[in-house]
Every structure is written in C-alpha cells, then in structure tokens.
Structure 1
C-alpha cells in the first residue's frame, strides 16, 4: 500500500479509532472512539507496517471499516491523513490535506501476514482501552 510521502516523513502522533459509523459528509472524520495514541517508535512501526500491506483486488462487502488511524504532525493541528480500513472488502480509504486523489482509495490483501499484524495492533489497542 502506498502512503503519502508527507505522512511518512511528518507524522509525530497516530490516533487509533474504533469506527462506529460512516461519516455523514465526504472528508469528515470517521465517527468512533479513540482507543490509543501512538508516538515515537510506534508511529514508525505502524507506518512501516501499513506501507508493506500487499495490494489486492476489490472484494464486495459494502465498505464497513472497523478501524482508522489519524496521522498528526508535531503541531497536532488537523490530521494530515485519516485512513479507514475495511478487512472485509480489503479496502482502505484515505482523506486529508496530505492525501493526493490517486491514493485516496486502495485495496490491500487482508489475508496477508502484514494485515493480520496490523489488525492485531488495532485489537490490542482497543482491548487496553476497554469496552
């Protein structure tokens, strides 16, 4: 999967969100509960893992993402990017000022070891946060 260069080089904090619904407006944040904030090596590791997700063909599930990550720079202003992951249809949708249109919708192999590792990180973050 390809991440925007500005996100890879400029992210200081990642917020992990357990998505509860789809946004009501295009480009709006995905509604949900933040379950973790990653910084330092966690940011580097998460972005590296996301960047190694192998591509895939589109699967049909209707896009029901369960998790998103929001990437912030040092200023912690508006998110550079939000990426919402649907492990059912193997789709990730990204939006934000750092996301060029060509990268806004991508497909990843949700059965790949990298995807399993990413989902385990998300679930681990959610489990630490509690119900």
Structure 2
C-alpha cells in the first residue's frame, strides 16, 4: 500500500473504531471511539504490516470500520480510515497532499488480514468483531 511520508514521523497512533461510517467524508475526520493508543513498538509493527499490504482494484462502498489518528512530536500528522469491504483507505490531514487522499489495499491478502488483526486486537476482551470492518 502506498503510504504517506508523514507515517515515518509517527510517535503515537490512536486506533479508532468507526461506528458512523456514513459521516466519514473526503475531508472529514475519523469519528468514533479511541480503543487503543500505540507507542513505538506497536507503531513499528503497524508500519511494517501496512507497507506489505498490496494495492487492489477499487470498489465503491467505502464503509470504513477502522481508523487511525497519527501524531508526531510536533502534534497531529494525519488520519486514515480503512474499509476492509471495498479495499479503500482515505488519508487526510495537514501533512497529506490532496493527491494522496485515497488509495487501495488488498484486504484479503495475508498482510491485509494481519493489519485487520492488529485493529481487532485492540477490542476489549470478549468483544465480538463488529459487522462493518
């Protein structure tokens, strides 16, 4: 998957469970419950996995179930919303050029499933994975 350069400046990542995917727009923010905050070790794993996810054909549903807010030493860097149904991710924020706002990823690839596993691991113990991924 094509990653924004700002991902290298990440020092904190908030994992967000998106409940109201219909409100996620092209210039909107990731809305939902922060279910985890990742530090250096988790961010390293996230960068490694997400860089290995291949790009995919684009579909149209865009009903994201997961998002991240990425912060660096100087503050907020960017957000991303992931739809594991249509293989799309939307990036936005002050460090993301408008031409890089959207890309695709192969959600059913081994790395795509590993990324989904990283997100699901943030759910509280005993919580069922939600219907919208």
Alignment match, 1:37: 37
Stretches (4+) displaced over 2 A: 22-28, 127-131
Aligned pairs, number: 127
Alignment match, 1:64: 63
Hey, what's the Cα distance between the residues in 2 that align with 1:128 and 1:69? 20
CA offsets per residue over residues 92-125 of structure 1, 9 Å max, x none? 0010011122221101111100010010111110
Hey, what's the Cα distance between the residues in 2 that align with 1:88 and 1:25? 17
Alignment match, 2:87: 90
C-alpha RMSD of matched pairs (Å): 1.9
Hey, what's the Cα distance between the residues in 1 that align with 2:32 and 2:12? 18
Give ranges in structure 1 of 5+ residues lacking alignment.
Answer: none
- Give the conservation status (yes or no) of the 8 Å contact 2:30–2:68: no
- Give the conservation status (yes or no) of the 8 Å contact 1:35–1:129: no
Give ranges in structure 2 of 5+ residues lacking alignment.
Answer: 129-133
Give the TM-score taking structure 2 as reference length.
0.86
1:127 CA displacement: 3.0
For the residue of structure 2 that corresponds to 1:106, the secondary structure is strand
1:58 CA displacement: 1.0
- Give the conservation status (yes or no) of the 8 Å contact 1:7–1:98: no
Give the TM-score taking structure 1 as reference length.
0.87
